[in-house]
Structure 1
Amino acid sequence: MKNEKVILAYSGGLDTSVILKWLKNEYNFDVIAVCVDVGQEEDLTLVKNKALSTGAHKAYIVDVKEEFVTDYIFPTLKAGAIYEDDYLLGTSFARPLIAKKLVEIAEKEEAIAIAHGATGKGNDQVRFEATIKALNPHLKIIAPWREWNLKSREDCIDYALKHNIPVPVTKKDIYSRDRNIWHLSHEGGNLENPWNEHDENIYQICVKPQDAPDKPTYIEIEFEKGVPISIDGKKYSPVDLIYKLNDIGGVNGIGIIDIIENRLVGMKSRGVYETPGGTILYEAHKALEKLVLDRPTLSFKKIVAEKYAQLVYDGLWFTPLKEALDKFIDSTQQVVTGTVKLKLYKGTCKAMGTKSPYSLYNEDFVTFGEDNVYNQKDAEGFINLFTLSIKIRSLMNYKKENFKKEKQII
């Protein structure tokens, strides 16, 4: 009999390297390792070879960077979605895409299950499994961290040493990291005590803000219907545009945050994130929307953005609500076309100017000088109507107070 096949979401890191060997030892599966390239800046040929040398039956490298940027990053950017006011969702929206590719290969290989290395304490287990259930509910799911007797990353290191598995971490460098074209996250180690100041030497994309150039950097980003298309007048492909902004932002120390976040499973966690290009794009997109969207639309879109961020964070990418919100967001983005000028300086990123053919800013109306388009006398009637309910309430209170005084006198 042939061994049954299982697809493993494989990164070549500590957890998935150990899981590959564990699946073979415990279940005698033919393990098909799948490394999805979302821009993690690694030599994925080495990752593939490592999977095969560790015992994988087959190994895939799937380049999805273009799809990641256009179908996951840009829709979230257009939504303005930020989880709990800080997190730009770098890991969150990569997981549904990775899981989608795992399902596709599982169907191609006629595998019975998909295995992942997400822990039973984290969000990623939900993100992977929600996507798998949405796209193919017949596939089984194996989550070793919910099954095996290994209790910590230190245990995993010991298991790797015992089975001659090369791993990229040591007990001294115990950080758990996730990197893609959008961001790099750091968790674990001394970050698990929220009182500890994080070590700035952990940065891998950004320079320390205090070491950034002493002279500000100015850049201009052009958007078309909410999507960034050029930097300083030069058009870039979606992938190259993100890489370029990462370089510019990283040199200027842009996009470093140290946050406590609420995980979906109910606990709080701490992470240090580097998102230089993403931080620049969010600042630019926000500034352009303020120029072209009317007040009610912009106000309601902020409510949508909060809900959108929660859906993405919780792994609910392939859901009816998410699809419906995308349609609303896309309708708002029809006028988000224009150029934003930004100033980058030692970790700060600020919009310094905006222009758009759809601008709702009209100098003829707002000028403090003489104009021929606005009759200031009109404001009196507007204020009278706008404040009518306030005035009526005040009159009623005034009558009540006078009535009380009259009774006291009697």
Structure 2
Amino acid sequence: MSAHHSSSHADVQKVVLAYSGGLDTSAIIPWLREHYQCEVIAFVADVGQGEEELAGIEEKALKTGASACYVVDLKDKFVNELISPAMQAGAIYEEQYLLGTALARPVIAEAQVQVALEVGADAVCHGCTGKGNDQVRFESTFAALAPHLKVIAPWREWDMRSRQDLLNYLAERDIKTSASATKIYSRDANLWHISHEGGELEDPWQAPSEQVWTLSKSPQDAPDQSELVELSFENGQLIKLNGQSVSQTEALIVLNQIGAEHGVGRIDIVENRLVGMKSRGCYETPGGAIWYTALRGLEELVHDRPCQRLRHQLGQQLADLLYDGQWFTPVRHALLAAVATLAEKLTGTVRVSLYKGNITVVGRKSEFSLYSEAFATFEEDEVYHQKDAEGFIRLFSLSSRIRALKQGGLQ
């Protein structure tokens, strides 16, 4: 061990670990204590991953060797500060992925830094692997908010490689775990979605078996009767479901239940990771898919073509920024300012029909609607004189006319 390395170990007295209670972070607690001889404080972010994952987690952390465990409820912050603006922008990565994992990371990492500062820690630690996007998301946040904190990433330091290695490590130390060597899938759940990787999904030719999906019904098993849902928005924020005022968090919980019942929001994609490799994932975002589709339907009514195009460009930029973990940057502030400006017109109500995996917009209304029956049909009106079209077409096709005169048209 180099002198440089040992001195950096000595600098770490107290570390705050982003802790999930899973196999990886359970092994990280004793590993940190052994390798850094430091105090370990577990930090758990409640982003709506569910009561099962959170049950008994504090006791588990303490039994594994943590000196304390902080569980922080971040659900409303997650919905209002990340999900809502992402939906106002229509942020979607590579045309399909509603960014379920990426959206939660800024909220989790920021709260982790806050805990670290409160307890006077000199390091933060995460359990992300060295191959994925999440290490970039966590560490970019640490860099932006508390660059003085040392970052420890055990997966880039230790020589353990498999689940079995981690199970052996815990067994040697008499630390009990409910994890088994046979876990097939890697999953990440929160209020917005659940992701699935691993198992048969590692072969892109292999269809996901029904055991991959855990949140939603298969479209085949969904009801034979469609269901209508009305979503009302104000400045791009979801304010009512079926005419009832709700918080955005409550709305999402209900939309998830309804959407899951009808098998909507399932995707199976091969995506480009930030680090340059491709990965295959199956994602379930039932409520999010309804929310996204409804805002698209409203946008068609209230935005002219340049505004629609701009919203899609901003949505794509925001999706890339979120995916790449660049939330705490000046670019995000500028993007969200533009998004909020366009969202001022996203006020109105959209009716969607849910049926066997499909979400169809079947009605929309808004005080800012640009659609007018009188203008679009052949009624006499004042805004459009048909003879005006002649000069417009002549100028619009002028380059074609000049080219033909120069080169000759059809001979």
Normalising by the smaller structure, the TM-score range is: over 0.9
Q: Offset at 1:2?
A: 12
Normalising by structure 1, we get a TM-score of: 0.94
Q: Distance in 1 between matches of 2:136 and 2:32?
A: 21
Q: Distance in 2 between matches of 1:8 and 1:241?
A: 32
Q: Distance in 2 between matches of 1:232 and 1:166?
A: 48
Q: Offset at 1:397?
A: 1.3
Instruction: List aligned pairs for 1:7-406, cutoff 5 A.
Output: 7-43=16-52, 44-367=54-377, 369-373=378-382, 374-398=384-408
- Write the deviation string for residues 153-173 of structure 1: whole angstroms up to 9, x where unpaired: 332233233334444542322
- Write the deviation string for residues 69-99 of structure 1: whole angstroms up to 9, x where unpaired: 0001011111111111111001102111111
- Write the deviation string for residues 132-184 of structure 1: whole angstroms up to 9, x where unpaired: 00001000000000000111233223323333444454232231111000000
Q: Offset at 1:351?
A: 0.8
SS of equivalent residue, structure 2 residue 30: helix
Q: Offset at 1:231?
A: 0.8
Contact kept? 2:12, 2:122, Cα under 8 Å: no
Change (3 A) 1:167 1:202: farther
Change (3 A) 1:254 1:161: farther
SS of equivalent residue, structure 1 residue 92: helix
- The one-letter code sitting in structure 2 at the alignment partner of 1:299 is R
- Write the deviation string for residues 188-215 of structure 1: whole angstroms up to 9, x where unpaired: 1221111221111232210111100000
Contact kept? 1:229, 1:236, Cα under 8 Å: yes
Q: Offset at 1:372?
A: 3.0
Q: Offset at 1:350?
A: 1.2
Q: Distance in 2 between matches of 1:117 and 1:133?
A: 17
SS of equivalent residue, structure 1 residue 303: helix
Q: Distance in 1 between matches of 2:342 and 2:335?
A: 11
Contact kept? 1:153, 1:174, Cα under 8 Å: no
Q: Offset at 1:219?
A: 0.6
- Write the deviation string for residues 305-341 of structure 1: whole angstroms up to 9, x where unpaired: 2111111000000111111011111000111000000
- The one-letter code sitting in structure 2 at the alignment partner of 1:365 is F
Match of 1:406? none
SS of equivalent residue, structure 2 residue 43: strand
Q: Distance in 2 between matches of 1:156 and 1:344?
A: 44
Q: Offset at 1:45?
A: 4.7
- The one-letter code sitting in structure 2 at the alignment partner of 1:348 is N
Q: Offset at 1:284?
A: 0.3
Change (3 A) 1:2 1:398: closer
- Write the deviation string for residues 81-135 of structure 1: whole angstroms up to 9, x where unpaired: 1111111001102111111011111111110100000000000000000000000
Contact kept? 1:343, 1:351, Cα under 8 Å: yes
Q: Offset at 1:187?
A: 1.0
- The one-letter code sitting in structure 2 at the alignment partner of 1:298 is Q
Fraction of identical pairs, as percent:
51
SS of equivalent residue, structure 1 residue 253: coil
Q: Distance in 2 between matches of 1:48 and 1:154?
A: 24
Q: Distance in 2 between matches of 1:60 and 1:209?
A: 39
Normalising by structure 2, we get a TM-score of: 0.94
Q: Offset at 1:370?
A: 3.3
Unaligned residue ranges in structure 1 (runs of 5+) = 403-410
Contact kept? 1:258, 1:272, Cα under 8 Å: yes
Q: Distance in 1 between matches of 2:196 and 2:334?
A: 33
Q: Distance in 2 between matches of 1:164 and 1:294?
A: 65
- Write the deviation string for residues 40-72 of structure 1: whole angstroms up to 9, x where unpaired: 003525111110111111100000100000001
Q: Distance in 2 between matches of 1:163 and 1:278?
A: 43
SS of equivalent residue, structure 1 residue 361: coil
Q: Offset at 1:26?
A: 1.9
- The one-letter code sitting in structure 2 at the alignment partner of 1:29 is C
Match of 2:13? 4
Q: Distance in 1 between matches of 2:330 and 2:202?
A: 36
Q: Distance in 1 between matches of 2:363 and 2:86?
A: 23
Contact kept? 2:12, 2:123, Cα under 8 Å: no
Change (3 A) 1:165 1:176: farther
Runs of 4+ more than 6 Å apart: none
Q: Offset at 1:24?
A: 1.4
Q: Does 233-242 or 153-162 show the bigger shift? A: 153-162
Contact kept? 2:88, 2:295, Cα under 8 Å: yes
Unaligned residue ranges in structure 2 (runs of 5+) = 1-9
Change (3 A) 1:371 1:164: farther
